[in-house]
Structure formats: structure tokens, C-alpha cells
């Protein structure tokens, strides 16, 4: 159906939006739609919305359950509280100090002095404002006096040489024998003593005794009983002993 321009009365084509003569705009006519074609679209959109709603509810419930579980674990999980280790009482400090002061530590090395070091640290930790400070310092000085000679001796001697758990050998002595014997490979160890601390003419040494069979300068087999003096993991002197 042709459209007549309300301004200039010129007839225009049915699908014209503007007048071809004066350019006036025509009002848009309502477009008829097929309601039957729209209904499936509404059904599809409705189902999609329902699915999204159900999925959203599930996510919300799952999130709520997770939060509840976390809250439950937070409420009932065992709590670990870090607390400082309390210092021993004065009576406990005195008891341990007296025990250490009674020990014979002449043969001790640095490793053996660890209990003394621990006790000295505990006594040192008593604060000045404490009523036990003076007594703690008195015990501290006694332990220092007892351990000072051992510490000085160990600084001079070095670490205590170790004896082999297999055959008792002491490596500094083995090295010395290899360097000095006429026929070391043909020698035979009879007996090793444990390593001990020995004072000789006022000086301290690590010492070990060894009975061995070897050759003399003439190639004859002889049996010897020897004492080896050791400092800083080296033999510094030897002594022949009677059997």
C-alpha cells in the first residue's frame, strides 16, 4: 500500500521512510509478528535461566559448605602455643654444678666438656636483677676454674686421636711406623692400648702403647713394647717399655 506524504501529499512507495519530495519522515508502522515462532524462544530462554539458577544455588551451597568446614577446622584444630623454656631453679642449678665439679676430667677432650658448656650457659642466663644472681655467678666461676686447664691442654694437644674399632690402630702411630721402620709391610701388631692423656716431665701428651713384631737393622725379627707420645695428630716422641 502506497504512502501519501502528510506534508506535500505526494504518493510514495509502501516501504518508504522519508518523502521523496519534501523529505518528511514517516511514522513506523507496527510489524506483525508470529506469536507461535516466539513461544519456543521464550521456552528456551526460560529453561536456560532455570539451569543457571540451579547451578548458582549449587555453587553457593558448596561454597557455604567449604566455609563451614574451614570454620569448623579452625574452631576445633589443636592449637600449638610456643612457650619459652623456663630456667632451672637455683636448687637444680646447684645440684648439677656440684655433680660436674666432682667429676675427674683430666682425660676429657672438648667433646666431653659439652655438659659443662650447657651448665655455664644456664648460669650465665640468670639475670642481674635476680636474687639468685650472686650464687649463680659463684657457681659459674667454679666451673670455669675446673674446665680452664682442660681447655688449655686440649688447645695444646689437639683433638684426642681415635682408635680403630676394627683393630685398635691409631693413625698417627701408623704413619710414624711407615716412615721409620725397616720393613713396615712385614711387621705385625700384637696389641694396642686405648689412647690416654699422659703428663711427662710436667708436659701433657696424648699417648698410646703398642706391642709389635718387626725386623731390626740386621733383618732379625724382634718383639717391641713401645709408648707413642702424640700432639695435634702427630707422633712427637717414643719410648721403649719393658714387657
Query: Tens digits of per-residue pLDDT, 172-193?
Result: 999 999 999 888 888 899 999 9
Query: 116: closest CA among 101, 130, 94?
Result: 101
What is the average pLDDT across 117-134?
95
pLDDT at 234: 97
110, pLDDT greater than 90: no
Q: What is the pLDDT of residue 51?
A: 53
- Residues 155-166 have pLDDT tens digits of 899 988 999 999
For residue 98, the surrounding DSSP H or E stretch is helix 90-101
Could you report the per-residue pLDDT of 11-51, keeping only the tens digit for each?
Answer: 878 777 777 787 777 665 444 444 444 455 544 555 555 55
- In sequence order, what are the beta bridge partners of 208? 228
pLDDT in tens, 209-242: 999 998 877 878 889 999 999 999 999 999 999 9
Task: Please tell me the predicted confidence (pLDDT) of residue 53.
Answer: 53
Query: For residue 161, which of 193, 195, 200 has the smallest C-alpha distance?
Result: 195
Q: Would you place residue 84 in the very low, low, confident or very high pLDDT band (cuts 50, 70, 90)?
A: low
Asked whether 7 and 27 are in contact (CB, 8 A), the reply is no
Assess whether pLDDT exceeds 60 at residue 133: yes
Ordered DSSP codes for 111-149:
GGGHHHHHHHHHHHTS-TTSTTHHHHHHHHHHHHHHHHH
Q: What is the pLDDT of residue 81?
A: 57
Domain ranges of the chain: 90-157, 171-240
Average pLDDT, stretch 5-9?
80
All three cell numbers of 228: 707413642
Distance of CA 240 to the CA centre of its chain: 51
Q: What's the pLDDT at 106?
A: 77
Amino acid at each position: 500500500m502506497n504512502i501519501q506524504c502528510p506534508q506535500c501529499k505526494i504518493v510514495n512507495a509502501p516501504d518508504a521512510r522519508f518523502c521523496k519530495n519534501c523529505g518528511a519522515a514517516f511514522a513506523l508502522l507496527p510489524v506483525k509478528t508470529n506469536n507461535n515462532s516466539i513461544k519456543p524462544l521464550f521456552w528456551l530462554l526460560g529453561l536456560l535461566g532455570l539451569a543457571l539458577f540451579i547451578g548458582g544455588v549449587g555453587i553457593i551451597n558448596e561454597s557455604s559448605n567449604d566455609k563451614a568446614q574451614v570454620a569448623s577446622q579452625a574452631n576445633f584444630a589443636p592449637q600449638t602455643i610456643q612457650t619459652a623454656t623456663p630456667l632451672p631453679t637455683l636448687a637444680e642449678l646447684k645440684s648439677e654444678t656440684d655433680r660436674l665439679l666432682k667429676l675427674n676430667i683430666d682425660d676429657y677432650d672438648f667433646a666431653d666438656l659439652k655438659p659443662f658448656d650447657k651448665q655455664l650457659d644456664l648460669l650465665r642466663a640468670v639475670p642481674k636483677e635476680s636474687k639468685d644472681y650472686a650464687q649463680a655467678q659463684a657457681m659459674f666461676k667454679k666451673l670455669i676454674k675446673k674446665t680452664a686447664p682442660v681447655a688449655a691442654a686440649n688447645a695444646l694437644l689437639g683433638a684426642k686421636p681415635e682408635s680403630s674399632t676394627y683393630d685398635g690402630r691409631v693413625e698417627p702411630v701408623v704413619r710414624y711406623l711407615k716412615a721409620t721402620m725397616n720393613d713396615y709391610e712385614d711387621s705385625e701388631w700384637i696389641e694396642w692400648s686405648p689412647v690416654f692423656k699422659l703428663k711427662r716431665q710436667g708436659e701433657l701428651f696424648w699417648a698410646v702403647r703398642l706391642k709389635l713384631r718387626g725386623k731390626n737393622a740386621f733383618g732379625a725379627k724382634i718383639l717391641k713394647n713401645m709408648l707413642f707420645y702424640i700432639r695435634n695428630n702427630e707422633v712427637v716422641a717414643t719410648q721403649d717399655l719393658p714387657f
